Structure 1
Amino acid sequence: MTVEDRTTGQGGHRLILVTGPSGAGRSTAVRVLEDIGYEVIDNLPLSLLPRLLEAPLDRSLVLGLDVRNRDFSTNAVIEVIDGLIANPVHRVEVLYLDCSADVLQRRYSETRRRHPLAPAENVMEGIGREFDLLTPIRARADILIDTSEMTPHDLRADIDRWFSTDTDAGLAVSVHSFSYKRGLPRGVDMVFDVRFLQNPYWEARLRDLNGQDAAVRAYVRADPRFEAFFMRVLDLSLMLLPAYTDEGKRHFSIGFGCTGGQHRSVSVAEFLSKALAENGWQVSIRHREIERRRREMPAKSGLDA
């Protein structure tokens, strides 16, 4: 069963299970969902869930689950997920907040908190145990958000795009730039490699700038291959976005990658975001590598459990 099958069924209200490793942003996500109109119950013992759901939901419900739940176990959570999905009354979605181990370790170091699975041991011991427990649950996720490179603001924006209760909001489009050296961003729906375009890095006057600067964008656009490529990408996007809207999709992400994630991918992402907005689409933009460099300047992440 696909996410679309579950979320467009007969049930009138959504039931969202939010989980993920401690420190990945689960508590932040739950608070955002409460702010945008969901009823939230955090860390409810799993054994009490059947009684909670005996009565029909009068509004969409969020359940926060993690290893601190009193009767938490991998099998118990999977049984809950499977049981809820089997009941056509519920429109069930599993939101998994993920994060890399090294970033989780840094967040714990910054906050000086103890890991719930290693209160008297090294934090990495607890992170490893938690990953082992959660891997089968992660595989059941309908929506996976990796917060490793995110600020709290980024996470709030992503949660709002995925779960907004504004039924008139339509399809939210996000455009990403990234470096292939650091891998593909998680969850991107459509990806284009723009390393074939002329590289501003080799121009001394442009090397320390990025694609948010007009001079860099002009240099990229001057490539004879740019215009034909860009118009095809724009035409494809304008063809696909209405189709995904008709299918009930709430969010669609488009990625552009280059070598360093600083010049070409940023430039093309800026061009496409502007063109889509001019065509009436609700667009947000994210430059992963630029954001990462700014964060390394540095400050605490602020994401919590």
Structure 2
Amino acid sequence: MSDGLTPVKPPENELLIVTGMSGAGRTTAAHALEDLGWYVVEGMPTELIPTMMDLIARNPGSVEKLAVVVDVRSRGLYTDILGALEQIRTAGISYRVLFLDASDELLVRRFEQGRRPHPLQGSGRILDGITAERETLKDIRNGAEIVLDTTDLNVHGLAAAVTDLFSEDGPITLRLNVMSFGFKYGVPADANFVADVRFVPNPHWVPELRPLTGQDSAVRDYVLVDAGAEEFVARYVEALRPVLEGYRRENKHYATIAVGCTGGKHRSVAISEELARRLQQTSNVTVNTVHRDLGRE
């Protein structure tokens, strides 16, 4: 069992049982695993886990990483979870257990803030339900490979901790989409940042450049040789660095940077590609370039 955050590369077709105390963050952990490419199933009866793994084994490549979220409301938890895991172990299927825990005081506070009863409290107090749940889950907790205490973690901290534990690529990678567009076709609705590069001299008014695009070297050179364009790109990249670092700390995985000119053919395309090239040099960032309006008349 480990209380640390030492990542272990999961084997093929791994099964991860995500369980723990109600209110300790199972939903947040499940969302973080989904972002890492795990296939997450919530509320499945525990006696069906062996059947699910058998189906996966019969269809190679269908699901490489399966996470099953189990709580005290899941049918069969009280009597069947340990038996189901023993069946899986006997069948030679690799699995791990991630157990989420938190202090009683924090769990009481979370239930009080949510104005919801604990699933096991019945007619008693919230603390009575927590005590009953701890007793029910003690054997699972004792046998868990990974116990993660979320007492001092907010949702972002918990998501980052799960990412550190289960990512095969080390620190979280932020995926950036750098998108060129034409203002006359509208600003992209999903843009996190919008840059207007209509201040750059327009190749459209140069006859030999008009039929070309920002992907052609002649247009790219014409656009980027402008002192204002070079200064803009350099300063924009520097301005984005603390933002991207903050996104990683807050466990934000995706962002779109939209760069616009009039028609989305020349200036925005050339500058988008240069921005993408420089941003790609930032650690733990992957960059994809999209030219939304390239090819429109």
Contact 2:9 2:166 in 1 (8 A): no
When the two chains are superposed, the root-mean-square deviation of aligned CA atoms in Å is 2.5
Pair 1:67-2:72 in alignment: yes
Q: Structure 1 length normalisation: TM-score?
A: 0.50
Q: Which runs of 5+ in 1 are unaligned?
A: 173-280, 283-305
Q: Which residue of structure 1 lines up, in the alignment, with residue 17 of structure 2?
A: 17
Q: Say whether residues 1:32 and 2:28 are aligned partners.
A: no
Matched residue, 2:41? 41
Q: Does 1:132 align with 2:168?
A: no
Are residues 1:51 and 2:55 paired? no
- 1:66 deviates by 0.7
In the alignment, which residue of structure 2 is the partner of 1:110?
A: 113
Offset of residue 120 of structure 1: 3.1
Q: Deviations over 1:183-234 (max 9, x none)?
A: xxxxxxxxxxxxxxxxxxxxxxxxxxxxxxxxxxxxxxxxxxxxxxxxxxxx
Displacement of 1:8: 6.8
Give, in whole Å, the separation in 2 of the partners of 1:69 and 1:80. Answer: 13
1-side partners of 2:50 and 2:163: how far apart?
28
| Cα pair 1:95 1:141 within 8 Å, conserved | yes
Alpha-carbon distance between aligned partners in 2 of 1:71 and 1:87, rounded to the nearest angstrom: 20
Q: CA deviation at 1:170?
A: 4.5
Contact 2:50 2:84 in 1 (8 A): no
Structure 2 gap ranges (5+): 3-7, 173-282, 285-297
Deviates more, 1:45-54 or 1:141-150: 45-54
Q: Which residue of 2 aligns with 1:84?
A: 88
Matches within 5 A, 1:64-213: 64-73=69-78, 75-88=79-92, 90-164=93-167, 167=168, 169-170=169-170
Which runs of structure 2 are paired with 1:189-268 in the superposition (5 Å)? none
Q: 1:8 to 1:156 in 2, by over 3 A?
A: closer
2:47·2:81 contact (CA, 8 Å) conserved in 1? no
Moved over 3 A (4+): none
SS in structure 1 of the partner of residue 148 of structure 2: strand
TM-score with structure 2 length normalisation? 0.51
Write the letter of the residue equivalent to 1:139: N
Q: CA deviation at 1:71?
A: 2.2
Give CA-to-partner distance per residue, 1:38-93, whole Å, 9 cap, x none.
111111012222322222352210000010012221x42112223223333x3311
- Aligned-partner SS, 2:55: coil
Aligned residues: 164
Contact 1:8 1:91 in 2 (8 A): no
Q: Distance in 1 between matches of 2:89 and 2:150?
A: 26
